[in-house]
């Protein structure tokens, strides 16, 4: 098999030939056809997440077909199209797993971080953490649903019944969330890098009622703000835009430090909260909802060997929507 491997944190990925892995009990071997390039991959490659176990193959928005079954697997058959997301395994025994909060598992496994991911022609995955994908999406179009979509969906859920939503950072997750929010009858306002007219046009095309720079005031008070840009300074900015009782939800796994802000901006029962990972229930719910809501994904395709180029384009903000490696 071929893989793009992170051998040193902070260094470019390296193309390697490896022996094709074999699935163990409860696992499946997936022949990868597409893998989304997520900002979390940048955090892995750049060493912004702790204890990256190099060498590691990044990638956790994996679409492919089952090539082989490990012992005991009955949920899938060879040839079935499946998706492999970020949450690759949980212990099932810690207090979080036992209380339905497996996204907070004490002993998790993460695709493309603690176990090899989808920047490769093949991947072994725990069958219980893989999902059938909805029809109507090509493999490349389906890939962003597996993290940008799933984490975005969980972020929107944690905003509660907010009717007026601000989205800070309009990339892969935001362009999916905006469509879902509009399907649910919510109003979406998009905040981008100041002066980024292309991103603002893209946001309006994805259903935003208004789009402007993150340095601009919201056109109306927000019930909730969703933050997908990894910029801690946006937390107090967004907090000033939400109503009494409003919520600011950070959807990223990594963010720069949050600067201090006056307590007055938090007072009146405003809330700041984060999203951690996903649950399998999130995946089942969202993957069923996506086609019903008419969600479409905007993707830019790259060949596997151009993974470093895709990461660079994401890092520099040169993308609208999502980058996807096509194998």
Mean predicted lDDT score pLDDT of the chain: 97
Q: pTM, whole model, 2 decimals?
A: 0.96
Distance CA 36, CA 23 (A): 23
Split at pLDDT 50, 70, 90, the class of 245 is very high
Locus of tokens 């900002």: 39
Collapse the DSSP code of 282 into the 3-class scheme (helix H, G, I; strand E, B; otherwise coil) and give the result.
Answer: helix
Size of the chain, expressed as the number of residues it contains: 327
Cα distance between residue 174 and residue 31, in whole Å: 29
- The stretch 304-319 carries a mean pLDDT of 96
- pLDDT value, residue 133: 98
pLDDT at 85 (0 to 100): 98
Question: Nearest Cα to 313, choosing from 298, 324, 327, 304?
Answer: 324
Task: Find out whether 117 and 5 touch, Cβ atoms under 8 Å.
Answer: no
Q: What is the pLDDT of residues 160-209, one digit of tens each?
A: 999 999 999 999 999 999 999 999 999 999 999 999 999 999 999 999 99
Mark 205-230 as b/e (b = at least 16 C-beta within 10 Å): ebbbbbbbebeeebeeebbbbbbbbb
Handedness of CA 51, 53, 56, 60 (dihedral sign): negative
Specify the pLDDT at position 61.
98
Sign of CA dihedral 114, 297, 225, 245: negative
**Strands (DSSP E) found in the chain:** 2-5, 14-17, 27-37, 62-69, 81-84, 87-89, 109-110, 122-126, 131-132, 164-168, 187-192, 210-213, 222-227, 242-250, 271-274, 299-303, 322-326
Cβ-based neighbour number of residue 233 at 10 Å: 15
């Amino acid at each position: 098999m071929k893989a793009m491997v992170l051998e040193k944190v902070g260094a470019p990925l390296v193309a390697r030939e490896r022996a094709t892995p074999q699935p163990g009990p409860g696992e499946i071997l997936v022949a990868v056809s597409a893998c989304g390039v997520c900002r979390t991959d940048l955090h892995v490659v750049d060493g912004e997440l702790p204890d990256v176990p190099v060498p590691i193959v990044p990638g956790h928005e994996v679409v492919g077909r089952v090539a082989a079954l490990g012992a005991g697997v009955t949920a899938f058959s060879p040839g079935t199209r499946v998706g492999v997301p970020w949450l690759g395994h949980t212990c099932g025994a810690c207090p979080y797993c036992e209380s339905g909060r497996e996204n907070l598992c004490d002993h998790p496994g993460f695709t493309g971080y603690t176990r090899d991911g989808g920047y490769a022609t093949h991947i072994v995955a725990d069958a219980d953490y893989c999902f059938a994908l909805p029809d109507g999406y090509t493999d490349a179009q389906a890939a962003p649903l597996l993290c940008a979509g799933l984490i975005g969906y969980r972020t929107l859920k944690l905003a509660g019944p907010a009717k007026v939503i601000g989205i800070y950072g309009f990339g892969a997750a935001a362009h999916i969330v905006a469509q879902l929010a509009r399907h649910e009858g919510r109003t979406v306002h998009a905040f981008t890098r100041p002066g980024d007219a292309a991103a603002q046009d893209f946001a309006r095309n994805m259903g935003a009622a208004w789009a402007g720079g993150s340095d601009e005031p919201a056109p109306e008070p927000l019930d909730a703000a969703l933050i997908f840009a990894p910029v801690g300074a946006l937390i107090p900015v967004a907090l000033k835009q939400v109503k009494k009782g409003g919520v600011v939800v950070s959807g990223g796994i990594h963010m720069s430090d949050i600067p201090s802000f006056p307590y007055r901006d938090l007072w009146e029962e405003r809330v700041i909260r984060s999203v951690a990972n996903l649950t399998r229930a999130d995946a089942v719910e969202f993957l069923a909802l996506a086609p019903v809501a008419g969600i479409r994904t905007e993707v830019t395709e790259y060949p596997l060997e151009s993974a470093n180029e895709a990461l660079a384009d994401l890092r520099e903000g040169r993308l609208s929507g999502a980058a996807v490696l096509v194998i």
